[in-house]
Structure 1
Amino acid sequence: MICMRDVSFTYDGEAFALSGASVQIERGEFVCILGGNGSGKSTLAKHLNALLVPDKGQVEVCGMDTSEREHTYAIRQSAGMVFQNPDDQLVASIVEDDVAFGPENLGVPTAELRQRVTQRLEDVGLSGFEKHETHALSGGQKQRVAIAGALAMNPEILILDEASAMLDPRGRKGLMRVVRSLNNQGMTVVMITHFMEEAALADRVIVLDEGKVARVGTPQKVLVDVDALSALNLEVPFAAELSQALRRAGVPVIAAVTEEALAESVFSVFSSHAAAASSAHENAAPQGPSGGKTLTEKASASPFAPKASTAAGATECAKFPASPAASTDGDVLIWLENVSFTYDAAEARRQRKAGKKPAPKQAKWGNSPEALWALDNVSLKVRNGEFLGIAGHTGSGKSTLIQHMNGILHPTSGRVVAFGSDIAEKGAANDVRGRVGVVFQYPENQLFAATVAEDVAFGPRNLGLSEEEVSKRVERSLRTVGLNPEEIAARSPFELSGGQQRRVAFAGVLAMEPEVLVLDEPAAGLDPKARKSFLDMVARLHEEGLTVVMVSHNMDDLANLCDRVAVMSEGKLLMEGAPAEVFTRAAELTSVGLATTSPEHFANLLREGGLPMPHEGLATEDSIVAYLRGLI
């Protein structure tokens, strides 16, 4: 289906984005392409539908040479592509028009066109959104519109370039179900991703490094090689990392790439041990350090095991190490009090006048298409010195919520008090914007100036600071984000890599020296190394005293970094508390399209299988290893 032979490509005539890459993909295969930022993944993808043609080598798609211009449109009809940033791909102002754009340009008859649009919006969980304006959608909803538009062309090959980066856990699972279904029907799928759990579901994995093919093989072969992937700045699936840790600890599980497979291996190991121990116990011949105890007896003897209660017949649940309690100390810097907000104020007035507020229908993948209120009576406090995480499904109101924190948006009803002043008061919003810095989704889109120095200087200069102070702040903030001012200050921000652009945008906010830093999905689309570096930098700033609010779909990041987590659902505040309080409510999180942390999810799989795992506290990789090792 796809054949790349010794392909090299350069954008500037000097550095090679691809260097001698050879890839072959069979008809009906599901292939995942992995690699760090700058490894050549997106460049390779753009060669698969003739957006780029090789400087050297050859690419054939469905038997057609991409360098021959007479094949260009046939290739693009055969190979549908979804880009990482949906704003690069949306072309119409109305959802159904955007999804129809591709097949309409292929001359698809009207009746079939309507059928395709309806079906593909159903596939991505956006039924009912047909007449919605694309600009008013959340980032994740825009991404799903872009996916629906590609699917509506009925391509033979579907190319997804980090298409799930802005989706919530339910959206990612839904996308994978659709992708697997289409693949089972014969569609060839090429998926670029940083989510190893997605790569684990592929038929084959291709790893790129510096424009070259570094590794090729099945997920079971490639993804369990922890050392090799780490050397390529990639993560491994949680299951592979945990299985390696368990094996080092003497628990003889298989090297697994999915949590379900690892759980089955754990059950198998302990069933065998339980049977052997039971037989030894019956023969009164204890063997080894366990003394022939049964699995239940070993579990009871474990330091993590349930202990007898003073109440007859009752037990006290074992506890994993608890996370820090939610912060109750510290001054309240920002207070959202009964805040409601709608992007359609006219309709809100009509409904208010009519005295009705219709109950929205339940949506398939998130908020209802009939939902009028982006925020619905939300009350939330941001305390001085805390790290507050905000989670929620796509369209739950997360981005709308944080844009109220520095007066970018004002409540339709309710009020926002920041640093003791109602933001709605005259002049208050301008003062707050200097004290609350917001970094948006895809912060590189905030860049606009001719040089890096001018871009970073824009904010502090507008605060009326002297040029000497502005220069000091520019240098200081660039160094804070890990960039050398001498090397980068005079360069255009648009010449930089994606990771560097994101750091420059971040430096522009830090140069304002805000008291509160608000981040909206700051690590989306970054490779594991860049993501860790970026989040480590945020954690360091918090440790130095900066108050941080971070929106994220990554539950593990929120659990590891935050003092407190607030969960949004359909415009309402569903729950808030310490990570150990929030992420142990797995069933509730799943019901609103989210998930718990990877270790807690795995612990739940073991509990469901009958293993007497601890029930209180939040599971970690170390606590799971220690507990299972204690049962051997």
Structure 2
Amino acid sequence: MIDVQNVRFTYDGANFALDGVSLHVRKGEFLCILGGNGSGKSTLAKHLNALLIPDEGTVKVQGMATADADCTYRIRETVGMVFQNPDDQLVASLVEDDVAFGPENLGVPTDELRERVTQALEDVGLSGFERHETHALSGGQKQRVAIAGVLAMNPAVLVLDEASAMLDPRGRAGLMRVCHELHERGMTIVMITHYMEEAAQADRVVVMERGHVALEGTPDEVLVQARALAHLNLDVPFAARLSLDLRDAGIAVQPTVDAGKLAREVLALGKAAGICAIADANAAAPDAADADVDFPTCEGNADAPALIEFQDVSFTYDTAEAKRQRKRKQAPAARQAKWGNSPDSLWAVRDVSLQVRRGEFLGVAGHTGSGKSTLIQHMNGILKPTSGRVLIDGTDIASKGAESKVRGSIGVVFQYPEHQLFAETVYKDVAFGPRNLGLSGEEVDALVRSSLDRVGLSFDELAEKSPFELSGGQQRRVAFAGVLAMDPQVLVLDEPAAGLDPASKRSFLQMIARLHDQGLTVVMVSHCMDDLAAMCDRVAVMNEGRLLGVGAPERLFLHARKLKDVGLGTTEPQAFAEALRAGGWPLEQEKLYTEKELAGTIAAVCGAGSSENDAAWPSPAGSEGQVIE
């Protein structure tokens, strides 16, 4: 289907983003491309549908060379591409017009066009959103519109460049389900991702490093190579990490990327050891896990003062319609949405009462469109409640003069914070906020220096550089520094690690943890339950604009099924623990397991005696450290 031969490409004439890449994609294959930030993944993807043309080498799609201008139209009709940031791809003001744009330009007849739009929106869980305005959608909903727009063109090849980065767990699972359905119908899928669990579902995995192919093979061959992947700034999937940990402890399990397969092996060992009755990871989980533990509603340090307080806050982007509904005293019957909230939902936030306590780390979770971003934009007056009150240090944010004071004390970092950059030098960008607060030149200079230092950047090396010449990770840190230079009391973060490779993500989250340790109050929106469980004092869960619950992670993430019902989930170790409980393994009911605790518990129960069978399974290639040329 696609033949890439010895491709070299440079943006600046000096440094090669692709350096001798050869890659062959078979018809009907599901290929996953991994790599750290800057490894050349997106550049390679843009060569697959002639958005970029090689400086050297060739790219052919069904025998058509991308360098042949006469073939460009047919190549782009054959290969559909979804970009990492949906705002780069949306072109129309209404959802249905945006999805129709591609097939309409292909000359698809009107009746068929309507069918394609309807089917594509159903595939991505947005049925009923046809007349919604694209600008008013959440980031995850925009991404799903972009995916639908490509699906409506019926391409032979679907290229997804980090298309799941802004989706909630249910959305990611839904996207993978759609990909598998299309793959079964014969479509070729090329997926670029940083989620190792998505890569584990592909037919083949290719790992990029500095513009060339570093590793290639099936998921079970590539994704268990822990040291080699760490060298490439990547992680191994949870199941592979756990299986390798168990092997190191002398437990005879097959290294695998399949959590279900690993659970069945562990249950079989448990049955042989006489500690569980069955060896079935798919058995019905006991009801006690969710029934015996109340869903948390507050918790945390009740003695700490409330720095931000929401009092029965509701917000709608359509105030006129809200007034009409109040007069009618009724709302339209809500339709059941496939991946998120109902398309009939009017209120982005509804009757939320919540406190953010001084010095705490509060996480915010929720499905795509649940109101997370709307909620946090109330924290410094970007949005004001349609009803209810938001108090900052006891002052109503809607009161006269409160807004300017609040915006200096509460810093908001949006999704893709590097999009906040605008000045000609790093210094001017970081200095913009404090200068507008009327501070002196010496005070501004000191804040710029300290802010860059706090995010791990060198003032001397970067101050006079253009922020647009920096790497993506550096740009994101500069944007953070610009917020920190305002000397805020609270740092509010909306998906701050989205789109980063695993190593960059770890470094970034460690930086946020350090800022919290230095005394900042932090509010962080995230779709990653493991990050929230590891970092937060409390987690607030939003569902269809309402606050479902808020509490300590060690209690909240025990409710695996309730969280799944609202499009989320529990942590990966806890999900595995639930699978073992379902098979009769007597694990503690009210304990949130970490990966280390889970491995230790399994090893202690099964014992090292099972290692006599270990010879049946050879060590995975590269698991002891593969040298990457």
Q: TM-score range by the shorter chain?
A: over 0.9
Deviations 1:296-335 (A, max 9, x none): 69xxxxxxxxxxxxxxxx9xx999xxxx972323111000
Residue 78 (str. 1) matches residue 58 (str. 2): no
Partners of 2:66 and 2:459 lie apart in 1 by 42
Aligned to 1:283: none
CA contact (8 A) 1:237 1:257 kept: yes
Partners of 1:473 and 1:15 lie apart in 2 by 35
The SS at the match of 2:347 is coil
Residue 494 (str. 1) matches residue 468 (str. 2): yes
Aligned to 2:568: 594
CA contact (8 A) 1:389 1:564 kept: yes
CA contact (8 A) 1:79 1:157 kept: yes
Partners of 2:528 and 2:411 lie apart in 1 by 22
Partners of 1:15 and 1:422 lie apart in 2 by 53
Q: CA deviation at 1:264?
A: 1.1
Aligned to 1:32: 32
Partners of 2:48 and 2:202 lie apart in 1 by 18
CA contact (8 A) 1:325 1:563 kept: no
Aligned to 2:216: 216
Partners of 1:560 and 1:229 lie apart in 2 by 23
Partners of 2:465 and 2:597 lie apart in 1 by 48
Residues 124-203 of structure 1 mapped to structure 2, 5 A cutoff? 124-203=124-203
Partners of 1:251 and 1:325 lie apart in 2 by 39
The SS at the match of 1:374 is strand
CA contact (8 A) 2:313 2:390 kept: yes
CA contact (8 A) 1:253 1:269 kept: no
Q: Which stretches in structure 2 are left out of the alignment for 5+ residues?
A: 278-287, 607-629
Deviates more, 1:491-500 or 1:252-261: 491-500
CA contact (8 A) 1:362 1:368 kept: yes
Deviations 1:439-497 (A, max 9, x none): 00111111111111111111111111001111111111112111112221212212222
Question: CA separation of 1:329/1:245 partners in 2, compared to 1, >3 Å: closer, same or farther?
Answer: farther
Residues 258-297 of structure 1 mapped to structure 2, 5 A cutoff? 258-271=258-271, 273-274=272-273, 294-295=274-275
Residue 548 (str. 1) matches residue 522 (str. 2): yes
**1:473 pairs with one of 433, 447, 450:** 447
Aligned to 1:57: 57
Higher radius of gyration, 1 or 2 = 1
CA contact (8 A) 1:327 1:563 kept: no
Aligned to 1:300: none
Deviations 1:399-423 (A, max 9, x none): 0000000000000000000012100
Aligned to 1:334: 308
**1:380 pairs with one of 354, 357, 364:** 354
Partners of 1:14 and 1:529 lie apart in 2 by 26
Question: CA separation of 1:325/1:350 partners in 2, compared to 1, >3 Å: closer, same or farther?
Answer: closer
The SS at the match of 1:567 is strand
Partners of 1:561 and 1:385 lie apart in 2 by 13
The SS at the match of 2:449 is helix
Residue 47 (str. 1) matches residue 36 (str. 2): no
Aligned to 2:282: none
Counterpart code for 2:166: M
CA contact (8 A) 1:556 1:598 kept: yes
The SS at the match of 2:214 is strand
Partners of 1:26 and 1:140 lie apart in 2 by 30
Aligned to 2:230: 230
Deviations 1:374-415 (A, max 9, x none): 000000000000000000000000000000000000000000
Residue 458 (str. 1) matches residue 438 (str. 2): no
Residue 425 (str. 1) matches residue 399 (str. 2): yes
Aligned to 1:244: 244
Residue 7 (str. 1) matches residue 40 (str. 2): no
Counterpart code for 1:59: V
Partners of 1:474 and 1:184 lie apart in 2 by 54
The SS at the match of 1:513 is coil
Aligned to 1:103: 103
Partners of 1:328 and 1:36 lie apart in 2 by 42
The SS at the match of 1:434 is helix
**1:617 pairs with one of 583, 591, 594:** 591
Deviates more, 1:426-435 or 1:348-357: 348-357
Partners of 1:248 and 1:329 lie apart in 2 by 45
Residues 444-593 of structure 1 mapped to structure 2, 5 A cutoff? 444-593=418-567
Q: CA deviation at 1:248?
A: 1.1
Q: CA deviation at 1:164?
A: 0.2
CA contact (8 A) 1:125 1:365 kept: yes
Aligned to 1:281: none
Counterpart code for 1:525: G
CA contact (8 A) 1:96 1:130 kept: yes
CA contact (8 A) 2:275 2:586 kept: no
Partners of 1:584 and 1:470 lie apart in 2 by 47
CA contact (8 A) 1:34 1:207 kept: yes
Q: Which stretches in structure 1 are left out of the alignment for 5+ residues?
A: 275-293, 298-313
Deviations 1:528-549 (A, max 9, x none): 1110000000000101111000
Deviates more, 1:484-493 or 1:134-143: 484-493
The SS at the match of 1:519 is strand
The SS at the match of 1:119 is helix
Q: CA deviation at 1:270?
A: 2.5
Counterpart code for 1:33: I
Partners of 1:82 and 1:135 lie apart in 2 by 18
Partners of 1:255 and 1:603 lie apart in 2 by 18
Counterpart code for 2:525: V
Deviations 1:350-377 (A, max 9, x none): 1112222334222111111000000000
Partners of 1:533 and 1:213 lie apart in 2 by 25
Partners of 2:75 and 2:456 lie apart in 1 by 42
The SS at the match of 2:597 is helix
The SS at the match of 2:189 is strand
Aligned to 1:302: none
Deviations 1:187-228 (A, max 9, x none): 000000000000000000000000010000000100011111
The SS at the match of 2:23 is strand
The SS at the match of 1:337 is strand
Partners of 2:471 and 2:226 lie apart in 1 by 27
Counterpart code for 1:232: L
Q: CA RMSD in A?
A: 1.6
Aligned to 2:380: 406
Deviates more, 1:486-495 or 1:136-145: 486-495
Counterpart code for 1:219: P
Deviations 1:19-54 (A, max 9, x none): 111111100000000000000000000000000011
Counterpart code for 1:543: D
Residue 358 (str. 1) matches residue 326 (str. 2): no
CA contact (8 A) 1:398 1:551 kept: yes
Aligned to 2:618: none
CA contact (8 A) 2:275 2:585 kept: no
Q: Percent identity?
A: 66
Deviations 1:51-70 (A, max 9, x none): 00111111111111111111
Q: CA deviation at 1:120?
A: 0.3
Deviates more, 1:127-136 or 1:495-504: 495-504
The structure whose RCO (Cα within 8 Å, separation 6+) is larger is 2
Q: CA deviation at 1:114?
A: 0.3
The SS at the match of 2:191 is strand
CA contact (8 A) 1:100 1:149 kept: yes
The SS at the match of 2:28 is coil
Partners of 1:327 and 1:556 lie apart in 2 by 22
